[in-house]
Chains A and B, each alone.
Chain A
Amino acid sequence: MNIENTQSQLKKGVLEYCILSIIMNGEVYPSEIIEKMKAANLVILEGTLYPLLTRLKNADLLSYRWVESNSGPPRKYFSLTDKGSAFYAELQNTWMEINNAVQIITKN
């Protein structure tokens, strides 16, 4: 049993939830997501984020628009679709349940 494996599995499980949560709080572009996650000590590679965003977008959970940037090329700003909001709500419920369960179990 590989400890790193287990760690990254745990991380992977909450990744989508966290990303959707960040986008839920307002329109963001990818490097902003990275920054926010870094600030919360959850470090992921941008190379992992981009494919994930594309997959979520392909699943109609996210939509985006192009915004011109002063500092370089235009940026993709992502926001949740209705379907995405519903999906997020469900994930939130699940997370709450798991969180509760884990809290109760690990306290004892």
Chain B
Amino acid sequence: MKKVIQINYQNAVFTIEEAAYELLKNYIESLKDYFKKEESADEIMHDIELRIAELMSDAIKKGALCITEEIITTITSSIGNPNDLAEEAAASFEEEQKAASHDAAAEGEQPYKNWTRASNQSMLGGVCAGIAHRYQIDVTIVRLFCVLFLFTGIGFLCYLLLWIILPSEPIPAFTKKRLFRSPDNKRIGGVCAGLGFYFNMDAWIFRILFLVPFILSFFHWHSFFFWYEGTLRGSSVLVYLVMLAIIPKAKTAADKLEMKGQKVDLDAIKDVVNKDLKNIEDNAHKLGEKIKSTFNAKQNKEKINGLNNVINPILKLMQIIIAIGIFCFALLMVLVVLELFIKNHHSQSWIAYFLDFSSGENYLYIALASIVLLPFVGMLFWAIKIMSKSKKPFKWVSRVLFFVWIIALLVLIIEGSNYLQNFSTKAIVKKEFSIQNFKNNTLHIYTKSEEEFLNVGYKKPIAYSSAHMLSSDDLNKFTSNIKIETYPSLDTAWRAQILYCAKGPSQHMATQYVNELKVSINQLDSVLFINKYLYIPSYQKFRNQFCIVRIYMPVGKEIVFHKNLDQLHWYTLDLHDFSFEWQSGEAVNSRNEYIELEATYKMGYDGLDLVEQK
């Protein structure tokens, strides 16, 4: 017993077994699928379906009660199953393929002796493509050299000449490995990735080759990279741009195969396409997972994550741009820190005033350098990690960096506490300076001018400050660590007191240090010159040596501090509360208020008062 249904097929009504109907339906679907690549598939299918209808009505006329499975089978075997049709068609297809490959082989054996211009592969006249064909090299390579050559005037003329002379002919496609820009693992334009494929090397080698000259072009000192000269500057960017313009992008599956130097045939193309599809699938899968986890997350997070999925590509691009920025910054900082620390690691540098490189303080210096340097090195690797796809090699890098950093920190703490012992005791020496009587009521205070100081024959600045906060010659170091204080005098005489101060690991050492300090003061009538510098014997290290000049003046007298006093710099390190003071233009009154320069002050009973200018 079989179920029978009625169908309207091609404007005729047929009684058909349900199983036969299913068979017919499947058969037509399979034919449609088979013919879908044909140019006029609809017309072919229409013809065939008309024929099926005709054959079915024939069967009915011959006395069949309804369309049975056997009838359908007879019809399908007369028209042919897709497999049979494919077999009949395949013979010719294979034949064509063989013919084509034979042609290619025949051409491959041919010597390429003709100089031609390629009429079918030209960018500008086809000269490069013609040369590439003549010598059987990748046209892109010829183009790159051609562009470099074109920058010279002769190259341009040669190109024009070849364009005019050479006959134009179509040439066959180049089938060996070709240089492409790779869109799959690109960072900017895929140039380096493509070079990587062409030379069978890691793309990062080329990225570094382009990046390093580019970053170095921001540097303007030569001591560290003395070999690096101006001509190379920025040229890597130019070369990159030229390559970006000349090298074609690998768009199709065939391009990608040629880029990797694989043979282009149907199977290989299918592999590439499948791989692409799989990537898309994987991405879709990941996206799905993300969305799933988003929905599981809390309400307020949901929106943010959903947004993330939409702007993910933008974020990724930004991430890479930021990573490049961080890379440049970190590289710059590493070089600057290295430069600074290496440059200053000698006995004449200003750092040698603070640290003794011949003792354990050398380790302190190295530890300090490492502590500053390592975070930037870490940053550098982090940026590379962001830009690179493989994360594995970077795992141990961060661990090693962290380990070394901790060791440096320990050294800093141990050596640092030793160093601070140098500041444990303090010694003070006071020296009197008698100020001669002078006619006016007003005393003028100057520091000795720069020129005067030069005339004395000193000055070999070892600090970078224009004020020469620290200088040295063979015998002495000079610091401008001088402070001027004013106090009301108990009698009617002017008087000055110079107070020297230094620290040391013991009272004995501190006293020895302090006794050797010297500031010279001269008086010329109503003008008091205070030497800009405190003299420190050159063997002394920084032990917070400073000097305070106290001026005791009668009440009612006036005093003017002149402009060049601003060259004094007061700095002091106090171990007991770990404070470090730093001030410029040192002159204070007894109330510990700062004094305006070039203004007239009058001494009152409790300190200086500003005299109003008339």
List the A residue with the shortest CB-CB distance to B87.
A8
Q: How far is the CA of A53 from the CA of B82 in the complex (A)?
A: 18
Q: In the bound complex, do residue A58 and residue B40 qualify as a contact, i.e. CB atoms below 8 Å apart?
A: yes
> Separation in Å of the A67 CB from the closest CB of chain B?
12
Spell out B's residues near A (CB within 8 Å).
Answer: 10-12, 31, 35, 38-40, 43-44, 47-48, 50-51, 53-54, 56-58, 61, 78-82, 84-85, 87-89, 91-92, 94-95
- A-side contacts of B39, CB under 8 Å: 54-55, 58
B85 in complex: contacting residue of A31, A48, A75, CB < 8 Å: A48
- A-side contacts of B43, CB under 8 Å: 54
A5 in complex: contacting residue of B50, B79, B82, B91, CB < 8 Å: B91
Q: How far is the CA of A58 from the CA of B47 in the complex (A)?
A: 14
Q: In the bound complex, do residue A46 and residue B80 qualify as a contact, i.e. CB atoms below 8 Å apart?
A: yes
- A-side contacts of B10, CB under 8 Å: 73
> Separation in Å of the A48 CB from the closest CB of chain B?
5
5 more A-B residue pairs beyond the given contacts A47-B82, A51-B35, A72-B57, with a C-beta to C-beta distance below 8 A: A48-B88, A72-B56, A73-B53, A74-B50, A75-B50
- B-side contacts of A12, CB under 8 Å: 88, 91-92
B58 in complex: contacting residue of A9, A72, A75, A76, CB < 8 Å: A72
Q: In the bound complex, do residue A73 and residue B12 qualify as a contact, i.e. CB atoms below 8 Å apart?
A: yes
A69 within 8 A of B: yes
Q: How far is the CA of A76 from the CA of B54 in the complex (A)?
A: 12
* Proximity bits, A37-50, B CB within 8 Å = 1, else 0: 00000001111101
Q: How far is the CA of A53 from the CA of B57 in the complex (A)?
A: 23
Q: In the bound complex, do residue A71 and residue B57 qualify as a contact, i.e. CB atoms below 8 Å apart?
A: yes
Q: In the bound complex, do residue A47 and residue B87 qualify as a contact, i.e. CB atoms below 8 Å apart?
A: no
- A-side contacts of B82, CB under 8 Å: 47
> Separation in Å of the A14 CB from the closest CB of chain B?
12
Q: In the bound complex, do residue A46 and residue B78 qualify as a contact, i.e. CB atoms below 8 Å apart?
A: yes
Q: How far is the CA of A9 from the CA of B48 in the complex (A)?
A: 24
- B-side contacts of A46, CB under 8 Å: 48, 51, 78-80
- B-side contacts of A55, CB under 8 Å: 39
* Most chain B C-beta atoms within 10 Å of own C-beta, residue among A8, A34, A71, A72: A72
List the B residue with the shortest CB-CB distance to A44.
B88
- A-side contacts of B31, CB under 8 Å: 47
Q: How far is the CA of A78 from the CA of B11 in the complex (A)?
A: 22
- A-side contacts of B80, CB under 8 Å: 45-48
Q: How far is the CA of A46 from the CA of B85 in the complex (A)?
A: 9
> Separation in Å of the B256 CB from the closest CB of chain A?
32
> Separation in Å of the B391 CB from the closest CB of chain A?
52
* Proximity bits, A11-24, B CB within 8 Å = 1, else 0: 01000000000000
Spell out A's residues near B (CB within 8 Å).
Answer: 5, 8-9, 12, 30-31, 34, 44-48, 50-51, 53-55, 58, 69, 71-76
Q: In the bound complex, do residue B53 and residue A9 qualify as a contact, i.e. CB atoms below 8 Å apart?
A: no
Q: In the bound complex, do residue B48 and residue A72 qualify as a contact, i.e. CB atoms below 8 Å apart?
A: no
> Separation in Å of the A84 CB from the closest CB of chain B?
17
Interface of A is mostly: helix
Q: In the bound complex, do residue B53 and residue A72 qualify as a contact, i.e. CB atoms below 8 Å apart?
A: yes
> Separation in Å of the B29 CB from the closest CB of chain A?
14
- A-side contacts of B57, CB under 8 Å: 71-73
- B-side contacts of A45, CB under 8 Å: 78-80, 84-85, 88
- B-side contacts of A50, CB under 8 Å: 44, 47-48, 51
List the B residue with the shortest CB-CB distance to A47.
B80
Q: Which 5 A-B pairs have the closest CB atoms?
A: A45-B80, A47-B80, A72-B57, A8-B91, A46-B79
Q: How far is the CA of A50 from the CA of B79 in the complex (A)?
A: 9
Known interface pairs A30-B51, A72-B54; A48-B44 also in contact (CB < 8 Å):
no
Q: How far is the CA of A94 from the CA of B53 in the complex (A)?
A: 38
List the A residue with the shortest CB-CB distance to B50.
A73
> Separation in Å of the A23 CB from the closest CB of chain B?
15
Q: How far is the CA of A46 from the CA of B94 in the complex (A)?
A: 22
Q: How far is the CA of A65 from the CA of B244 in the complex (A)?
A: 58
* Most chain B C-beta atoms within 10 Å of own C-beta, residue among A31, A34, A48, A73: A73
Q: Could you list 8 examples of A-B contacts with CB < 8 Å?
A: A9-B95, A34-B78, A45-B78, A48-B88, A50-B51, A54-B40, A73-B57, A74-B50
> Separation in Å of the B51 CB from the closest CB of chain A?
6
Q: How far is the CA of A68 from the CA of B265 in the complex (A)?
A: 49
A47 in complex: contacting residue of B58, B85, B94, CB < 8 Å: B85
Q: In the bound complex, do residue B79 and residue A75 qualify as a contact, i.e. CB atoms below 8 Å apart?
A: no
Q: How far is the CA of A46 from the CA of B55 in the complex (A)?
A: 12
> Separation in Å of the A75 CB from the closest CB of chain B?
7
A72 in complex: contacting residue of B12, B35, B84, CB < 8 Å: B12
Q: In the bound complex, do residue B35 and residue A71 qualify as a contact, i.e. CB atoms below 8 Å apart?
A: no
List the B residue with the shortest CB-CB distance to A46.
B79
List the A residue with the shortest CB-CB distance to B85.
A47
Q: In the bound complex, do residue B11 and residue A30 qualify as a contact, i.e. CB atoms below 8 Å apart?
A: no
Q: How far is the CA of A73 from the CA of B51 in the complex (A)?
A: 8
List the A residue with the shortest CB-CB distance to B84.
A45
- B-side contacts of A54, CB under 8 Å: 38-40, 43-44, 47
Q: How far is the CA of A73 from the CA of B460 in the complex (A)?
A: 113
Q: How far is the CA of A75 from the CA of B88 in the complex (A)?
A: 25
* Most chain B C-beta atoms within 10 Å of own C-beta, residue among A48, A50, A54, A69: A50
Q: In the bound complex, do residue B40 and residue A31 qualify as a contact, i.e. CB atoms below 8 Å apart?
A: no
Q: How far is the CA of A55 from the CA of B35 in the complex (A)?
A: 13
- B-side contacts of A76, CB under 8 Å: 47, 50
Q: How far is the CA of A51 from the CA of B94 in the complex (A)?
A: 19
Q: In the bound complex, do residue B79 and residue A71 qualify as a contact, i.e. CB atoms below 8 Å apart?
A: no
Q: How far is the CA of A46 from the CA of B27 in the complex (A)?
A: 14
Q: How far is the CA of A46 from the CA of B48 in the complex (A)?
A: 8
- A-side contacts of B54, CB under 8 Å: 31, 69, 71-73, 75
> Separation in Å of the B49 CB from the closest CB of chain A?
9
Q: How far is the CA of A69 from the CA of B307 in the complex (A)?
A: 64
Q: How far is the CA of A53 from the CA of B39 in the complex (A)?
A: 12
> Separation in Å of the A28 CB from the closest CB of chain B?
14
Q: How far is the CA of A50 from the CA of B34 in the complex (A)?
A: 13
- A-side contacts of B53, CB under 8 Å: 72-73
Known interface pairs A71-B58, A73-B54; A30-B47 also in contact (CB < 8 Å):
yes
